[in-house]
Structure 1
Amino acid sequence: MRILVSTVDGGAQLRPLPDSAEAGREGGAGAAGRVAADTPAGGTVPAAALPGRVRELETAHRPRWVWADTASVYPPLLRAGVRVERCQDLRLCHAILRHAAASAGSEIATSPEGPWDHHPADPDHEPTLLDAVAPELGPEDVLAEQVRQDAAVEAATEPGRLRLLLAAESAGALLAAEMAHDGLPWDRDVHDRLLTELLGPRPAPGGRPPRVEALAAEIRQHLDAPGLNPDSAPELLRALHSAGVEVATTRKWELVRHDHPVIPPLLEYKKLSRLLSANGWAWMDTWVRPRPGAARSRFHPDYVPGGVVTGRWATSGGGALQLPKQVRAAVAADPGWRLVVADAAQLEPRVLAAMSHDTAMARAAQGGDLYQGLVDQGIVDTRARAKVAMLGALYGATTGEAGQLMPRLLRAYPRATAVVEDAARTGERGGVVSTWLGRTSPPPPERWWEARRRAADADATGEDTRRARQLARDWGRFTRNFVVQGTAAEWALCWMAELRLRLRSMGAARGDLSSPDGTATGPHLVFFLHDEVIVHTPAELADDVAAAVRGSAAVAGRLLFGDFPVDFALDVAVVENYAQAG
């Protein structure tokens, strides 16, 4: 059962819908229109009564909730202690269907841009139950979009894959909202101690900690620049040039190539300054808040599902995707609870083996360490060189050690390398490529096509030709990686979606999933980084959670790749704080 949620004056309209396959068989809009809004599960509900009504329907029917935007609708439900199992996020699904090659002929793909192509942009806006994607969208607009999406999927070249992608993307939206609401358990005292050990005591506002200030003084001395502000890139470049250090940037990779006494303290200064700005005291005051009744505070990240073009997540604040090792000990479970930390080992190469059905590469992945598997098969002589070779294949390296090793991979794994090589050639021609489930890459930008047209002119110069070729190679590297990174993101979404359902079942067996104030009472996901997850769980359930994490990875592999024999190996640790996971 599906229930469409749309806003009306002072409340929300609930409209039961047929399942998507049924709607497709019976004519899409006509089938949806024949389901009355005033059936027992439908009707108009005042805003204040909506959480209770959603809870009732969730318990009675376990529907798939269809709404405009999870990021707007779900947080208020969470604050009211209501958690739903499934949804269809029309905004996220629209973005996929609009650009997917599999649905290129659909109304969604061919219509002019409209309100569904944009997302509310006010970062200070507190979402309410009555928010929609755009204020001009009413109940009939939301219904019409849902009908268009059903039609686009049913007419797609591979509807099953696309349907799975939309379900996984929508599940990710629920997870993002739940993780932002629940927060990552955080020990502020440990964080303060770690910062003090590394940087010195907390400085006055606008000042530098003692260790950072001492390094700044050392840098000024080595460069004979007493007034230098090391945080100013132009000033630092001028001072380095005056001291005979000829660098074009102040990036680490360029600085380490030079032998000068200023380099070691400058690199240390940059590392500690980065920690101070990204995860220092000001960051903690902004993003880590006390949780009433809990022993630990909580870090509340702002995840953006599908925020990267490949489908990977991004964040719009807090830097959840970049928690450095220096502060991970502050990520600490509540007393009586544990953290189950899991990451998928060498995920992208395993995904490549599965999507290409390269059995030789899949055999190398058996046993847990794919890179060692390459050594055992005699492809390369060391694990380090195996890693260089595989990453070179994924990212299109043509020079250096990776370029030298590439012919060995081509001979050993012709099916796997053909997938990325074909994707690269397609990109170089200006074409688009798709992931396993159907997310499609964008076409090259206009400047790319302009360079190509310029190189084809009769009066084109050698520089015009070189620039066009370089842009083509660059775009080919993008499409080469897109198909693998995007498919890995799909696997990760399916992994998390399955794990979320298993954790819900474990939590439901203990009672309500959350307390009246919205606090999660059972095991729940609290962190996600591309191929790594953290679950916060009561200690007595930790081993069961670890088994659920592994089982969910196996299910994700079968959902995407059927019975193809590739192992998705996980490193799983049950710990009291994140640093203990290694």
Structure 2
Amino acid sequence: MHIVVEQAGTPDGAPVVLTTVTADGEVVARRDVAARDLPDVVRTEAADVRWTWTDTSLVLPPLLAAGVHVARSHDLRLCHRILREALVTASSRLAHRPRDGWDEPAPLAPPARQDALFDAADLGPAVAPLDPVAELRDQLDAVDSAGDRAGRLRLLLAAESAGALAAAEMTYAGLPWRPDVHDALLADLLGPRPPEGFRPARLEALAEVLRRELDDPSLNPDSPVDVLRSLRRAGLPATSTRSWELKQIDHPAVAPLLEYKKLARLWTANGWHWLDSWVRDGRFRPVYVVGGVVTGRWASDGGGALQLPRQVRDAVRPDPGWRFVVADAAQLEPRILAAVSGDEAMAVAGRAADMYEGIVATGAVETRTHAKYGMLGAMYGGTQGVSGQVLPQLRRAFPAAIGLVERAAEVGERGGQVTTWLGRTSPRPDGAGAAPLREGEERERPADAGSEAARARAFGRFTRNFVVQGTAAEWALCWLALLRERLHALRPGAPLVERPHLVFFLHDEVIVHAPAELADDVAHALRECAAEAGRLLFPASPDDVEFALSVAVVDSYADAKD
């Protein structure tokens, strides 16, 4: 049963309309409630209700502030994007509708006031005229049109919507952050905080070394053009300032240049300006963009949430009396490939805690390095070096798995589209229908590849990986969805920030902020939910592949990583 949340009438005090809709799209009840009463209504409604709204990022923050936990939701805009482009819903009326406001990017800023939760001014001009009940009916019809794939598609929509709940909760709760520790880390690496407009002392010292070694007193090391010109003037065979290329050059300037590049990146991406801009009241609150990457992976809008460098991770520390429980899925994408392809030999390898060692144990390759780079090459289309050398061995050992990604590559090279296990569909080669690029986006750009044949091969590499990376993102969403409810059950009824709660998520890694006495329970829940996510996605063979986790209970994020 869905309860659709919408605004009626004009802004400023207009009631919120709650429309009850069955799974068949039939409207069975409508009622008005005051916006200020919505948290109480949500709190007391039946647990199996699926709250349905236009944008979770707008609706959920005031509910969280009122201490309300939403167990199930349906985010209409996120689900619309999936259904609009899915191959399995291509015959639906939603797929054939002219583009409209539902195709516009979601607004990112949550409303400032609870009583203005559904003001048209907050939702923006593209959102105000939309009819969420009509949209829900079209979405239900689209799912039904998928036939025997409808069940998987329903799971994808539920997981995507649960991801939106988790993202809004993580932004609301924030990642605990110690500004004093961050400042000390920066001072140790860069020197004391410099005046505005000046480089830190360590960078300035390295700049002087570079000017001396390259005999270029006016060199600006922050300008790649200047650096490349100076390197060439010194007679060095540099074609770019990329680190991998610089490491091939034997010259006294190379080491300080590489050090300068590393520290300058820290200063600009996570230096004092970042600290002043993004950390408030001991919390870093990034804005996650659910499904911001075309494969279904998340992106972020500002703050670099998907790129927290090792140099500052020691500043990420739990509150007194609390601990971090950090979990990382081991070799997730190869395990997903084994499950999706049904390759029994690879499934055997996937039962090992280290799947690459499991691949070696099958006799497919001789070393863990061969297994790792061979599998990465198979999934990402690498044909050089170790990847190319061992691919024939992997093809013989795991024909179903390697055959699946190679067929996906062939579809892409012909200009076709592929789908994930649950039904998310890759964009067309011309990019039509693709989600907008966000911070953290890693979308390949085949149009940059040159010849038509090169562009086809590039898109084939994209579709080759899409089926694996996209399904891995679906597993991670199911993991998050299951974990949210398990964490809530550890202290039911408590507000979000007073019970164990998610504070960070990156592809296959999570951080849970937990009271110290519940940390072991959280670690157990993380492992159980990972296994359950595998069974949820692949019910026909629930024990074939194990989704192994590394779990650490720590007092600093830096301690969770090797």
TM-score by length of 1: 0.89
CA distance in 1 between counterparts of 2:157 and 2:238 reads 47
Mapping 1:510-525, distance limit 5 Å: 511-514=493-496, 520-525=497-502
SS of alignment partner, residue 498 of structure 2: coil
User: Does residue 240 of structure 1 match 2:231?
Assistant: yes
SS of alignment partner, residue 546 of structure 2: coil
TM superposition shift of 1:75: 1.8
Residue of 31, 35, 41 corresponding to 1:53? 41
Once the two structures are superposed, what CA deviation does each residue of 1:376-428 show, in whole Å capped at 9, x if it has no partner? 12221111111110100010112222111110010000000111001000000
User: Does residue 171 of structure 1 match 2:174?
Assistant: no
Identify the residue that residue 154 of structure 1 maps to in structure 2. 144
SS of alignment partner, residue 322 of structure 1: coil
TM superposition shift of 1:138: 5.6
TM superposition shift of 1:230: 0.8
CA distance in 1 between counterparts of 2:21 and 2:111 reads 34
SS of alignment partner, residue 483 of structure 2: helix
Structure 1 residues 446 and 55: CA distance shift in structure 2, 3 A: closer
User: Does residue 104 of structure 1 match 2:104?
Assistant: no
> Contact 2:16–2:118 (CA<8 Å) still a contact in 1?
no
Structure 1 residues 122 and 557: CA distance shift in structure 2, 3 A: closer
Amino acid at match of 1:168: A
Identify the residue that residue 497 of structure 1 maps to in structure 2. 481
Amino acid at match of 1:322: Q
CA distance in 2 between counterparts of 1:352 and 1:129 reads 43
Mapping 1:97-246, distance limit 5 Å: 97-120=83-106, 128-130=116-118, 135=125, 137=127, 141-157=131-147, 158-246=149-237
Mapping 1:353-432, distance limit 5 Å: 353-432=338-417
User: Does residue 65 of structure 1 match 2:55?
Assistant: no
Q: CA-atom RMSD, angstroms? A: 1.9
TM superposition shift of 1:46: 2.5
> Contact 1:11–1:45 (CA<8 Å) still a contact in 2?
no
Identify the residue that residue 258 of structure 1 maps to in structure 2. 249
> Contact 1:7–1:139 (CA<8 Å) still a contact in 2?
no
User: Does residue 572 of structure 1 match 2:562?
Assistant: no
Once the two structures are superposed, what CA deviation does each residue of 1:244-295 show, in whole Å capped at 9, x if it has no partner? 12322211111111111111000000000111111111111111111xxxxx
> Contact 2:77–2:106 (CA<8 Å) still a contact in 1?
no
Once the two structures are superposed, what CA deviation does each residue of 1:100-122 show, in whole Å capped at 9, x if it has no partner? 00101111111111000002457
TM superposition shift of 1:76: 2.4
TM superposition shift of 1:187: 1.2
User: Does residue 17 of structure 1 match 2:13?
Assistant: no
CA distance in 2 between counterparts of 1:131 and 1:14 reads 13
Amino acid at match of 1:129: L
CA distance in 2 between counterparts of 1:114 and 1:185 reads 40
> Contact 1:183–1:301 (CA<8 Å) still a contact in 2?
yes
Mapping 1:272-421, distance limit 5 Å: 272-290=263-281, 297-421=282-406
CA distance in 2 between counterparts of 1:466 and 1:137 reads 40
CA distance in 2 between counterparts of 1:287 and 1:339 reads 21
> Contact 2:162–2:481 (CA<8 Å) still a contact in 1?
yes
Identify the residue that residue 537 of structure 2 maps to in structure 1. 560
Which structure 1 segments of 5+ residues have no match?
Answer: 38-42, 291-296, 448-464, 515-519
Amino acid at match of 1:308: V
CA distance in 1 between counterparts of 2:463 and 2:14 reads 45
Identify the residue that residue 438 of structure 2 maps to in structure 1. none
> Contact 1:392–1:398 (CA<8 Å) still a contact in 2?
yes
TM superposition shift of 1:15: 2.8
> Contact 2:57–2:108 (CA<8 Å) still a contact in 1?
no
Greater Cα offset, 128-137 or 466-475: 128-137
CA distance in 1 between counterparts of 2:106 and 2:21 reads 29
User: Does residue 549 of structure 1 match 2:531?
Assistant: no
Amino acid at match of 1:566: V
Identify the residue that residue 464 of structure 2 maps to in structure 1. 480
Once the two structures are superposed, what CA deviation does each residue of 1:316-372 show, in whole Å capped at 9, x if it has no partner? 011111111111111111111110000000000000000001110011121201111
User: Does residue 2 of structure 1 match 2:10?
Assistant: no
SS of alignment partner, residue 205 of structure 1: coil
> Contact 1:72–1:131 (CA<8 Å) still a contact in 2?
no
Structure 1 residues 18 and 142: CA distance shift in structure 2, 3 A: closer
Greater Cα offset, 434-443 or 131-140: 131-140
Amino acid at match of 1:175: A
CA distance in 2 between counterparts of 1:312 and 1:466 reads 28
TM superposition shift of 1:469: 1.0
Identify the residue that residue 453 of structure 1 maps to in structure 2. none
CA distance in 1 between counterparts of 2:111 and 2:201 reads 38
SS of alignment partner, residue 11 of structure 1: coil
TM superposition shift of 1:137: 4.9
Structure 1 residues 399 and 115: CA distance shift in structure 2, 3 A: same
CA distance in 2 between counterparts of 1:84 and 1:502 reads 13
Once the two structures are superposed, what CA deviation does each residue of 1:414-472 show, in whole Å capped at 9, x if it has no partner? 0001110010000000000000000000110189xxxxxxxxxxxxxxxxx98111111
Amino acid at match of 2:534: G
CA distance in 2 between counterparts of 1:550 and 1:498 reads 11
Structure 1 residues 124 and 156: CA distance shift in structure 2, 3 A: closer
CA distance in 1 between counterparts of 2:152 and 2:250 reads 54
Amino acid at match of 1:4: V
CA distance in 2 between counterparts of 1:78 and 1:124 reads 12
Amino acid at match of 2:322: W
> Contact 2:192–2:201 (CA<8 Å) still a contact in 1?
yes
> Contact 2:4–2:21 (CA<8 Å) still a contact in 1?
no
TM superposition shift of 1:140: 7.2
Greater Cα offset, 67-76 or 354-363: 67-76
Structure 1 residues 559 and 63: CA distance shift in structure 2, 3 A: same
TM superposition shift of 1:512: 2.1
User: Does residue 36 of structure 1 match 2:29?
Assistant: yes
CA distance in 1 between counterparts of 2:70 and 2:431 reads 43
Structure 1 residues 148 and 576: CA distance shift in structure 2, 3 A: same
Identify the residue that residue 455 of structure 2 maps to in structure 1. 471
Aligned length in residues: 535
Amino acid at match of 1:118: E
Amino acid at match of 1:238: R
Structure 1 residues 52 and 250: CA distance shift in structure 2, 3 A: same
Which structure 2 segments of 5+ residues have no match?
Answer: 433-448
Structure 1 residues 228 and 131: CA distance shift in structure 2, 3 A: farther
